[in-house]
Amino acid sequence: MTTTASAFDHATPHRSPAPLRTPGSRLGPTEDFPEEQTGLGMTELQVVHSRVIRQLDRGYLTDPTGPYSATTDRCQDLQAELDARDTA
């Protein structure tokens, strides 16, 4: 019996010839993400957080396996930065 890997792996973002930018107000897993959030202003940080949350919601609502791991990691990074600013 042979086991085949899933055709779609959520651990790595799917690369396709689709547009480089996710349509609408979401930040897709293949789009640029600021690795260093401390340099962002509060408004910029909130906008990036909003876009990531919208992508996260879409992943939960449209895919039975859930959102990309890159999206959940980004969400955690942004929440940590927002929490750090709230306590400062």
Separation CA 1–CA 11 (nearest Å): 25
**Which residues make Cβ contacts (< 8 Å) with residue 2, sequence separation at least 6?**
none
The DSSP 8-state label assigned to residue 2 in this structure reads -
CA-based angle 9:57:79, to the nearest 5?
95
The domain ranges of the chain are 42-87
- The per-residue pLDDT string of the chain (88 residues; one tens digit each, 9 = 90 and over) reads 455 544 555 566 555 444 456 668 999 999 999 989 999 999 999 999 999 999 999 999 999 999 999 999 999 999 999 999 999 8
* 0.85 surpassed by pTM: no
